[in-house]
Amino acid sequence: MTTTLAGRPLLGGAEIARAVAMVRPYSMVPDASLVELGWQVAAVLAADVPGHFVECGVWRGGASFLMAALLREAGVRDRTVWLCDSFEGLPPPADIDGPSARRYAEERSSPRYRDNCRAGLDDVRESAGRLGLLSHVEFVKGWFDRTLPGLPARVGDVAILRVDADWYASVRTCLEHLYDAVAEGGLVVFDDYYAFEGCAVAVHQFLAERRLPHRLESVVGDGDAWDGYQAAVFRKSPLTWRLMRRRHQAILDIAAAVPAGASLLVVDEQQLALPGLPFPAHEGLYAGPPADDAAAIEALERARAGGAHFLAVAWPAFWWMEFFAGFARHLRATATCIAGTDRVMVFDLRRAL
Ligand SMILES: C[S@@+](CC[C@H](N)C(=O)[O-])C[C@H]1O[C@@H](n2cnc3c(N)ncnc32)[C@H](O)[C@@H]1O
């Protein structure tokens, strides 16, 4: 049973690892990228970014199945994973795709060739059925220049767009037709950004032509063909994917330590919108950092007398624990630190050491 917080599903490492193991036979995407995709699904659900999940370039379906398995795990019925592919393999690469693309297309006996990434729709649908995922997926068969122009009208908002279509022309087509459907706060992932030159050129060209300021972030794994770089992602938001991921993990840290429904104070300087009551608060709103140790201690004791049971300090406010050294000493003397990670410290205000 998935943990929930304020009615939203909270998926974590255990659920993601189980789903990755399940879809492993159906994907050529390395484990680290699949795990990252799992965190992307988890964070989007927890942050309630609106929209569906779209993968362009699905081969046997593995990465799409991962997203669908996590939707099933979380009990989410109002989002669907859209699987877009020719289901006939890759079109030929062009010069702009670079030497590694040319080598890929020429070396047909290489284990990487995989029959030109061909997997038939019937086989992929059968696999989805075998995994019990059919009610979470929709198939869109055909070449992208035919199928993608009409897709936003069918899908609506997109929370995660995963582009795994190798070549320049395919990646550009995906961006041209689907970028605008990506919701604010949503994620766009490029599986081949490091693998093939054409993919990187398509991404940069599109962002430059539209004057979009999205920052590309790398997905890094252990030793792989591109020295560990496995994919790139940008978030359609001034705030990065890394921040979104850490925020989600901080929520998991808190949820593991604090019983559901308990009264929780949160010190995050309003940078993370963590669930809980802001501390210190004035009429329910964050009042800004306290003037000094005495003001912080007074606010804490007032909140404790008012029924607050837990206090979580998140990393944007870690400096408090040094700057307000008197407050930190008081907190440690009158509460028990029940969780401490590089993201969050949680104190139980009910029990003194
Ligand atoms: C590398 S594979 C995808 C791998 C997959 N995501 C996984 O989890 O293993 C690339 C896929 O993109 C599809 N593809 C590439 N360009 C396309 C286009 N222009 N139209 C339709 N499908 C395309 C190919 O058919 C192939 O299945």
Cα–chain center distance at 18: 17
CB–CB of 160/41 below 8 Å?
yes
pLDDT (0 to 100) of residue 225:
65
Helix (H) or strand (E) holding 87, with range, is none
Tokens standing for residue 51? 């929209």
Ligand 1 pocket residue status of 85, Cβ below 6 Å: yes
Beta strand 158-163 pairing with 182-190: parallel
Interatomic CA distance for residues 74 and 129, integer angstroms = 19
Top pLDDT among 38 and 109 is at 38
Length of the chain: 353
Q: What does the pLDDT average to over 55-62?
A: 98
For residue 260, what pLDDT band results from cuts at 50, 70 and 90? Answer: confident
Q: Is 253 helix (H, G, I), strand (E, B) or coil?
A: helix
Interatomic CA distance for residues 179 and 79, integer angstroms = 18
Ligand 1 pocket residue status of 90, Cβ below 6 Å: yes
For residue 286, what pLDDT band results from cuts at 50, 70 and 90? Answer: very high
Give tens-digit pLDDT for 205-228.
Answer: 999 999 999 999 999 887 666 778
Give tens-digit pLDDT for 233-245.
Answer: 999 999 999 999 9
pLDDT tops 70 at residue 4: no
- Return the ligand 1 atom nearest residue 169 CA: 19
Please tell me the pTM assigned to this model: 0.95
Instruction: Single out the residue of 304, 299, 309, 290 nearest to residue 348, CA to CA.
Output: 309
CB–CB of 189/40 below 8 Å?
yes
- Return the ligand 1 atom nearest residue 23 CA: 8
Tokens standing for residue 341? 């990670």
For ligand 1, mutation pick of 34, 36, 58, 219 (most atoms within 8 Å of CB):
58
Tokens standing for residue 77? 């019925």
Interatomic CA distance for residues 25 and 34, integer angstroms = 12
Nearest CA, atom 20, ligand 1: 143
Ligand 1 pocket residue status of 165, Cβ below 6 Å: yes
Cα torsion 297, 299, 303, 306: sign: positive
